[in-house]
Chain A
């Protein structure tokens, strides 16, 4: 069995890319995708550790995360559609009525 360190580093990189994406991008859809990337980074870590330990928990957790991610994506996309319908943009810098 392979040491999970490499996978953990990979997961960290994925997570970081996703996080930076969330912070840096202005398109809400891409932010959503960045979040998905972060979640996938998490999944990599879970699966790698689970398989290294021979423990099913990691795999199960990854499945759970995927399920949740799917549900989130569904809700998220519908919110985006609703926004687009009202405002015809999903640029988050223009979606700042609520502030201060």
Chain B
């Protein structure tokens, strides 16, 4: 499209510019063409004068209006263009020598004040290149899908306006060359998430979920902000390259201690828990399913929620210096993985199952990062983007077929009606369950192995992760069985309309299915005879961290050179054993699912009846939302009312008004001295005179 460009990296900005153009164009269309049509019939079009006439409902005809076609073209096209530029850029990056694979394009100075100078600059390096490819690639597919999925939506242009805005923000997040820019994208995707979750704003649950997502994310951002302040005042910069470059010197001078690194990274991780829905801030993600399904696929599965992982990977050099943080990250990751997986077991809403699954998978990624296997984390991020997007889109297709029904208890036997959806989703399920050969297997297995073998890892972490993997396999197959197999529990009325989705929806499904199969092949571990291109590609990024950690260790235990790469170098037979074990666990999970939902479909209800309390606990997500509500939100709101009433109204204002009243009533009392009787006046004068003269003489 752009011809033989000598240096595509000068055009990096286009990756942002295309989605931005989409934002502007769709925004204008939404505002100019679409807005008047959406107004309630009785007063649209005449907003300037306040009273439209009656009748005259010219917005009611059913042909696709021209502007919708335009939007349907612009939005995906822009993302595709960005994808192409991204792809070309990455190709050129790959052609450069490994150690110089960092390209920074500075656009303009953004904020400069005192010692702070932050430019709007884009940084393309192996890590961000993975991210932009995933974001634009999966993003494009989801855009295409959305065109079909949202075809009945009145606010069509507005939807794509938000969606493009999301792409822009997400790309800013991953392409920005400094923490501040990452934060910009970070908050930007938060905004889009808010807007898209609350897209159907007339639904109270939707707008509440949107708000919840934003606010919970803000709690995380609080940590991110403080982390940035610490970074700035210690490193004097917020640029990644500068921060990384200054680590050795600062380590040397004793400024960058383990304590400082722990503080910075822990705060960053607080941010990550918010954005990537980890314990304790995961609560927003299941609710986020109120948004349209493509949004769930794009934002709440494939891209945005992985930003936390990206951030940790980006800051690996700092994390490596903070063993405590690493431990925390790993434990939180593992705990989230198992905890969320367990919550996925009982959910009836198809999207909620996937949401908990996402939380759980994100936990894996953090587990990987926490044990120092950043490559594995990023690898799983990528494969997860493929198969989770696929699963979500598939569920969207199911919902589409079911005319909006999301309850799996009212599905069943859909396999016959929606074959493409079924097969693609089945592939996705196999991938997430960790069936060998598919993308999920490689990445998940890598994580499991590192959780066991890494110097930060432990068998406990492995065990937890493995159980979670089994659980995952169980609930995913439960989903498949409930949805596509067995007897139909579909509402009769709905059943008449069940149909396979249009091509605009199924083609992305198929592409993603292919990716879910092959996506993992670029990272086949050496143990399985693979070349692990993926790890080599990312090596320059994570080198710094290992080096820094080495220096830190050296500082601690004088001269003990820790062979950091050592672990990965030789093939441990253990790796194969564990691999087999995890596959076995997955198969075990599938088997249980098969038994419970195919062989003895009446059994699950009985189990639930037998353990009512346990069931209620799990079904209600351990009452965590209620706990937060009761423990924090109620307290804060009631406390605020109390503060306001007690302090503002009853204390300060009472004091202010009290002083005013006192002064005034004192005045009224003073006036009362003025009795109106001359004798009293004269007495006052006499008294005054006596006092004055008396004072003067007997002073």
Contacts and interface: CB of A to CB of B under 8 A. Distances in A.
Contacts of A96: 675-677
Interface residue tally on A, bucketed by range: 10 to 19
B679 A26 contact: yes
Interface in A1-56: 19, 22-26, 28, 31
B678 A95 contact: yes
Contact of A22 (B672, B675, B677, B682): B682
A32 to B, nearest CB: 11
Nearest to A21: B682
A24 B683 CA distance: 8
B671 interface: yes
Given A99-B674, A100-B672, A100-B674, A24 B679 contact: yes
A17 to B, nearest CB: 12
B686 interface: yes
A98 interface: yes
A92 interface: yes
A92 B677 contact: yes
Interface in B645-699: 671-672, 674-679, 682-683, 686
Contact of B679 (A92, A97, A99, A100): A92
A89 to B, nearest CB: 13
Contacts of B683: 23
Nearest to A99: B676
A98 B678 CA distance: 10
Contacts of B672: 100
Contacts of A95: 676-678
A93 interface: yes
A24 B686 CA distance: 11
Contacts of B671: 100
A92 B682 CA distance: 12
A95 B678 CA distance: 8
B671 to A, nearest CB: 5
A23 B675 CA distance: 14
Contact of B686 (A19, A92, A93): A19
A19 B687 CA distance: 11
B682 A93 contact: no
Interface string A44-88: 000000000000000000000000000000000000000000000
A24 B679 CA distance: 7
Contacts of A97: 676
Contacts of A26: 679
A9 B669 CA distance: 39
A54 to B, nearest CB: 28
B679 A98 contact: no
A25 to B, nearest CB: 7
Contacts of A98: 676
Nearest to A22: B682
B676 A23 contact: no
Interface in B367-411: none
B576 to A, nearest CB: 104
Contacts of A92: 677-679
Interface string B405-448: 00000000000000000000000000000000000000000000
Contacts of A100: 671-672, 674, 676
Contacts of B686: 19, 22-23
Nearest to B670: A100
A78 to B, nearest CB: 17
A95 B679 CA distance: 11
A23 B682 contact: yes
A93 B679 contact: yes
Nearest to B671: A100
B618 to A, nearest CB: 78
A25 B677 CA distance: 11
A92 B683 CA distance: 14
Given A19-B686, A100-B671, A25 B676 contact: no
Interface of B: 671-672, 674-679, 682-683, 686
Interface of A: 19, 22-26, 28, 31, 92-93, 95-100
29 contacts: A19-B682, A19-B686, A22-B679, A22-B686, A23-B683, A23-B686, A24-B679, A25-B679, A26-B679, A28-B678, A31-B678, A31-B679, A31-B682, A92-B677, A92-B678, A92-B679, A93-B677, A93-B679, A95-B676, A95-B677, A97-B676, A99-B674, A99-B675, A99-B676, A99-B677, A100-B671, A100-B672, A100-B674, A100-B676
Interface pairs A-B: 8 shortest CB-CB:
A99-B676, A96-B676, A100-B671, A92-B678, A23-B683, A22-B682, A23-B682, A96-B677
Given A24-B679, A26-B679, 15 more contacts: A19-B682, A22-B682, A22-B686, A23-B686, A28-B678, A31-B678, A95-B677, A95-B678, A96-B675, A96-B676, A96-B677, A99-B674, A100-B672, A100-B674, A100-B676
